[in-house]
Structure 1
Amino acid sequence: MRSPWMTSEQAAEALGVRLSTLYAYVSRGVVAREVTTGPGGQRVSRFRRDDVLALARARSRPRAGAMPLIESEVTQLDASGRLAFREVDVSDCADRGFEWTACHVLGLSDAMWSSTACDEPGPGEAAGADAVRWTVMRCAARDERRDSLQPEHCRDVAVTAVAVSVAALTGAQDGTVAQRLARAWTPASAGGAWFESVTRALDVALSVLVDHELTASTLAARTAAGVGADPWMVLLTGLAAMSGRAQAGASRAATAALRTWISTRTVPDAPVPGFGHKVYVGPDPRAAPLLERVAAVSPETADAVDEFAVRVAREYSVYPNIDVALAALTLAADLPADAGEVVFTLARIPGLMAHALEEYPHGLRLRPRALA
């Protein structure tokens, strides 16, 4: 008689997923596990056979009108604070820089990243994050291969969208994305170690924001890909969905809260902008590497954030997230008020396209039903 339990390897094989995906299911509450002690004293995970087989049946026979489980290899995260892009930890991605991270997520060689794929460097008819959305629309209208869903074209669209958008925002085509933003946002007289610190902080911010699994904007982009929208429109769909104050624009409220703390040492009522997260029970793993770089730009701002975080943790038991880290960078380097939103919007373009590349082969499957 078969055991009522399965090992991790057996459960992953029954579900047709990798072990990392199985553990992601556990962290999200999709399937339960029991941890026991093995013969050698080591901790061993086991899964109820009936639970695993029931999940396997649910995955293989989607009910009419039900939202299917979405498997993705782009990002791995769990509530404990782990975040990785294609199995590379987010801190390592921050060290390697935005261009490397974007190429890694897209499945490109970093030698294929182009910072000059642009013939329209002016600011055009929009500013800030609107300039990115405006640029995507203009590029779509001019792309002779617009209808192509081939992977190489989709990857080229993502690289081009970033390059042309940065040129539209800064008027410059030379240098990394972070370098061009730093030159555009800091005084012309700035230079030396301080300018390099700002540039490095911007690069870290871009790197850690490339993707964050199935956010609302990512799901919107995947839905557009499911109906066969061209890659430009997939990007525009995702960019539109992230444009609200709860995602790309969230750093504005965090900046205001941090500014108030610095001037009055006053903590706002919960929920405190820039603290807590729907996924992580502890600190946001994206915040630490960015705040470390902020300290090199302005030690005083970094100290203020530390004091703010201690006070918020004491009063509300929540931790800093990426929004307060972007707010700290904005204040430390005296960046434009919308700098956090612009960085967020630019950074997420490669991630949106990586998800689209995964979704295109599935066709129309993301069709939930409403309760009447």
Structure 2
Amino acid sequence: MRDQEFAPLDAERRLSTKEAAELLGVKPETVYAYVSRGQLSSRRVTGGRGSTFDAGEVEALARRNRRESAGSSPSGGELSVRTRITLIESDRYYYRGVDAVDLATRHTYEEVAEWLWTGRMRPGNTFTAPAAPVAVARRAVDALPEHATPTDLLRVATIAAATADPLRFDLSEDAVLGTARTLIPTLVSALPPAWRDRRDEGPLAHRLWTRLSPHKDPDEASLRALDAALALLVDHDLAASTLAVRVAASARAHAYAAVSAGLGVIEGPLHGAASGLAHRLLQDVLDQGDAAPVIADELRAGRRIPGLGHRLYPGEDPRARALFALLEQIPRAEPALLAARDIVETTARHAPLHANVDLALAVLTTSCGMPPTAGETIFAVARTAGWIAHALEEYGERPLRMRPSGLYTGPKPPQPLPE
């Protein structure tokens, strides 16, 4: 639809949720998702249920959506990339055709990663890292200032590990898989420990625990929740960081460089760092004992409520649902679970949004005594396996195919030389 095909709306008129959804061509749930992301403002109906929306604001968003859609690919549709890795549909997601939640709750992170890479299950598989790249990565990480973020640490560790691998330019499947199986444990081993001892043996989740939690003796349920969180977050179709990885792989960057590209994108507050915002929100609710004043402060400041809603799931985020179920088996997680439920129920009065995986991660990190940045670390370590899977897939495609054409909107040439 072209811009001129929109009938002008009365700027003073308010639209119902149904009317706004029809104009935008989306479901009513998506309208509230736009509100949560700050793309639309809403006003409660006086004395009733539901919300109304500014007609001019809705029309402007509809125009913008149409323009972005028209300019995203030569065919006028959204950018799409062939992949055999992850499918998302009907509020569920699948790894190579198998329900991802079933895989994550029945298998370890390492086993799920192998399934994603090869389509084969290797029961009991664990990742180990050679001493040489670990030593190089640790020295690089230890040289960073104290205020460095988790993504800073992982990005530097990735680059350092690459320098220790003279064969990193071998892009054959076996070589890349070998890199993947050593890079992920190297990243975990390079992280500073939460307490004096560095544990570099056993399942990856246990090793990661020693970097994130002050509790030296985690119970089995807590470790299982952390391991499942890693497996649930392995991949999620073409997220922004994954697209960056595929662009790098399209240019035939080696696996370390492709992972570094993903880490460069993941640090944004709308991606990997979102769980830290949810962690702080959850902690504020726990401190005050009530979500209402905390949510009110967020809305008054014009901020979206973190941990709620997801553009790919009109209903509940299946990753959150699975992780919440595991957290319910941990007694010390009960206060954080109740606080998360309070956040969802309080916000539902304004916008009917479900909890997403960021809020579930926040419950895990809060209840296990981890810092607010722990969710970002978990997310990045987990997603590294998915990035490797996408890099492998892209290496099998035509080189440099991820090269869109720019839609130039600057001054029409020729222009005079600047003074």
Shorter-chain TM-score tier: 0.7 to 0.9
Match of 1:172 in 2: 199
Match of 1:136 in 2: 158
Q: Which amino acid aligns with 1:304?
A: A
* TM-score normalised by L of structure 2: 0.69
* Per-residue deviation, residues 297-353 of structure 1 (Å, max 9, x unmatched): 312221221222222223211111111111111111111221000000000011001
CA contact (8 A) 1:201 1:293 kept: yes
Q: Which amino acid aligns with 1:265?
A: A
Q: 2:248 aligns with which of 210, 216, 224?
A: 224
CA separation of 1:129 and 1:172: change in aligned 2, threshold 3 A: farther
CA separation of 1:117 and 1:66: change in aligned 2, threshold 3 A: farther
Q: Within 5 Å, give how 1:252-331 maps onto structure 2.
A: 252-262=276-286, 263=288, 264-266=290-292, 267=295, 268-269=298-299, 271-297=304-330, 298-331=333-366
How many residues are paired up?
308
CA separation of 1:290 and 1:118: change in aligned 2, threshold 3 A: farther
Distance 1:72 1:87 in 2: 12
Alignment RMSD: 2.4
Corresponding position: 1:245 with 2:269: yes
Say which SS state the counterpart of residue 261 (structure 1) adopts. Answer: helix
Q: Within 5 Å, give how 1:49-198 maps onto structure 2.
A: 69-78=80-89, 80-95=90-105, 96-107=107-118, 109-110=121-122, 113-119=126-132, 120=134, 122=138, 124-126=142-144, 128-169=150-191, 170=193, 171-187=198-214, 190-191=216-217, 195-198=219-222
Distance 1:67 1:197 in 2: 41
Q: Percent identity?
A: 31
Distance 2:276 2:97 in 1: 31
Distance 1:202 1:312 in 2: 27
Residue 112 of structure 1 deviates from its aligned partner by 5.6
Say which SS state the counterpart of residue 116 (structure 2) adopts. Answer: helix
CA contact (8 A) 1:211 1:352 kept: yes
CA contact (8 A) 2:291 2:339 kept: no
CA separation of 1:265 and 1:167: change in aligned 2, threshold 3 A: same
Task: Give ranges in structure 1 of 5+ residues lacking alignment.
Answer: 1-26, 28-61
Say which SS state the counterpart of residue 83 (structure 1) adopts. Answer: strand
Say which SS state the counterpart of residue 212 (structure 1) adopts. Answer: coil
CA separation of 1:185 and 1:359: change in aligned 2, threshold 3 A: closer
CA contact (8 A) 1:185 1:336 kept: yes
* TM-score normalised by L of structure 1: 0.77
CA contact (8 A) 2:205 2:223 kept: yes
